[in-house]
Amino acid sequence: MCGIAGIIQKSEMQSDPFKRIRTMVAIMKHRGPDGQGIYLDQQASLGHARLAIIDPEGGIQPMSNEDDSLWLVCNGEIFNYIELKKDLEKRGHRFKTRSDVEVLLHLFEEHRENLLEHLNGQYAFAIWDRQRKNLFIARDHVGICPLFYYQSKDEFIFASEIKAIIAAMPSTPSLNIKSLIQTFTFWSPLPGFTLFEHIEQLVPGCYLTLEKGIQKVKRYWQLPFPETSTDMIREIEPACEQITAAMEKAVQIRLRSDVPVGAYLSGGLDSSIITALIKRKNNNTLCTFSIGFEDAQYDEKKYQSLVSNWLDTNHSFFYCKNSDIPACLENVIRQCESPLLRSAPVPLFLLSESVRNANYKVVLTGEGSDEFFNGYNIYKETKVRLFNAKFPDSNYRHLLFQRIYPYIDGRDQRGKHYWAEFFKQDLLTNSDPFYSHRIRWRNSAFIEQFLHPDIRAIWSEYDPVQDLKHITGNDLSDLNPMERAQYLEIFVFLNGYLLSSQGDRMLMSHSIEGRYPFLDPNVIALALKIHPNLRLRVLNEKYILKKAFASFLPKAIVSRKKQPYRAPIHSAMNREIIESWMSRERMESDQIFDPAKVDVLKTKVLSSQRPISAREEMALVGLLTTTMLLQNFIKQSLMSTPQINPVIFDYRPKSCHFKGNRNVAARLLFKEC
């Protein structure tokens, strides 16, 4: 993974963009510490911060085709580049490097925007056509790699991170209140939105063209749900065979690298499967990495050790202390560029630092399995609610929720009644496209009561679910309730939170590339083709994965109940961070939260005698991180800009010592124009 940036002026040379594009690249140096490059002509400026993984010596970007008419900057990997390159060479294309991303230039020459149909990878890239003055940018199918943009009447600016765009804008943008409300509802802004006015996000599975100042966005990929039930795989044995073969290939293709590749090992089923597949195909030393917690209720060290010993990996534990959470939270928000509702990204931020210190740049991880193989409790909830809706007056069917949440059984009658009533909400509205998630979204919106009256007034007039309905269009209309649940988890939660705040941003903060075999397009297509009853067998999540990989792993790993990854909140937040970031002075200045309501929450949090609820913990994190976002992005200038010495490819007339001579530019590596 890398960092990319660009400034496209709508008419030639309105202003010299060199300093701005250089600053944009420098701000993203953490994404690409191995070298930086800049391309300039009379209308376009492209920038690249490189994390060198494939062809470290020759894969310098920005990169051009044979006649320098097309210029590319890319963040990510094209995993099937070897196969693509062979075919392109047969068609007469000549390659300058061994880099995986050079195939994009030649595929674009062959297919223009249809090149995306040929890719197996994770990417956000831009191609500038110097002769036609056209820009083409695209983002991978599920949004592993980020891509943001800003457009004014004079120019179009894009980058891998928002902070780089802000640095190039004429003035600091204001907070987008609607996106804040979305975040407090869905845990992240909706696809296409950001927390900053006028800065947008390219939706996963889409590409954008800019031609003569006219911007068009088109979708090239969508979730491949089977058209009919007859297209589904219903038998266990063929399903196991096909998923094993698909996962073996997905893992193998993601081991293509000129630097060592490690793996995250959480102790759960998904990361254990990936680790086992790496070892089976490459029985050499494999380094695995995991998090241990001071707080025992979050710790999975015994399972991590069990898998590591079983598979004989060289395992490293990062031990997260409670005090690490508040100490790193502000830095995490600078990377996330969005508020959070839980503290889980912080240990992952520290884990990536630990991996980098071990001299690794690439890790394989297990994200995507829960979404596509029905591993989350929300799928079980939906299944039970649909079952209960057939006999809504039953006195017994609601007890099935105790199978999902065993601790309900141990509560008093008042607690049991609360949960029974909670899951009965909108029980019979199963034609609602948001049936699976609506009660969850209401629960997340608990934080509304702590908002400033002016913000609450906006919320009373704005329904974020209506915006989601507009974005999804007719996508949900032909899906059944369980498929809709999957769609929403993938389109909203996976893209907006897991692959962003908890994924790319935490990995790339320390220059680590994450690769996701379960998000291989072929694995996704196969997973959705496997009958739902094989993915979620009654209430046994990821049943087909357990069957397929039972012989690969210790029985204790295959049979263990899923433990969601979480991190401490209330027990970790010290008095110093709470009093500093939740002070009445700060609340009155920001005018986002109600100072009086915040004081009540603050008093309760600081009282060791009064436990706080899960919803109050979410409100606490949301309040702290929103305040940190305001302070770091809007109220003060961004973090200091690192020094860089980029390679420069300058095609502007009379402006540079080496007018477009690519060979000279390459020889002047780390020399500024």
Residues catalogued as catalytic: 2
In this structure, what token pair is assigned to residue 100?
């995986």
**Alpha carbon of 476 to those of 219, 482, 529: distances in Å?**
16, 11, 17
Quick one: CA torsion of 70, 75, 76, 82, rounded to 10 degrees? 20
Residue whose entry in the numeric block shows the structure tokens 């079952």: 387
CB-based contacts of 626, cutoff 8 Å, min separation 6: 180, 339, 592, 593
**What phi and psi, each to the nearest 5 degrees, are found at residue 17?**
-90, 0
CA 304 – CA 292 distance, rounded (Å): 9
CA 516 – CA 565 distance, rounded (Å): 17
Quick one: CA torsion of 348, 353, 354, 355, rounded to 10 degrees? 90
CA 199 – CA 192 distance, rounded (Å): 9
CA 7 – CA 17 distance, rounded (Å): 7
Residue 298 pairs with which residues in a beta bridge? none
CA 316 – CA 290 distance, rounded (Å): 7
Q: Are 195 and 339 in contact (CB under 8 A)?
A: yes
CB-based contacts of 544, cutoff 8 Å, min separation 6: 236, 239, 240, 243, 373, 530, 534, 535
Beta strands in 16-163 (DSSP E): 36-40, 44-49, 63-64, 70-78, 121-129, 134-139, 148-151, 155-159
In this structure, what token pair is assigned to residue 473?
């269009």
CB-based contacts of 438, cutoff 8 Å, min separation 6: 425, 426, 432, 465
Q: Are 10 and 20 in contact (CB under 8 A)?
A: no
155-159 and 214-219 beta bridge pairing: unpaired
Q: Are 433 and 469 in contact (CB under 8 A)?
A: yes
Selection from 160, 154, 168, 171 nearest residue 19 by Cα: 168
CA 81 – CA 98 distance, rounded (Å): 10
Question: Which alpha helices (H) appear in 473-520, and where do they start and end?
Answer: 481-488, 505-508
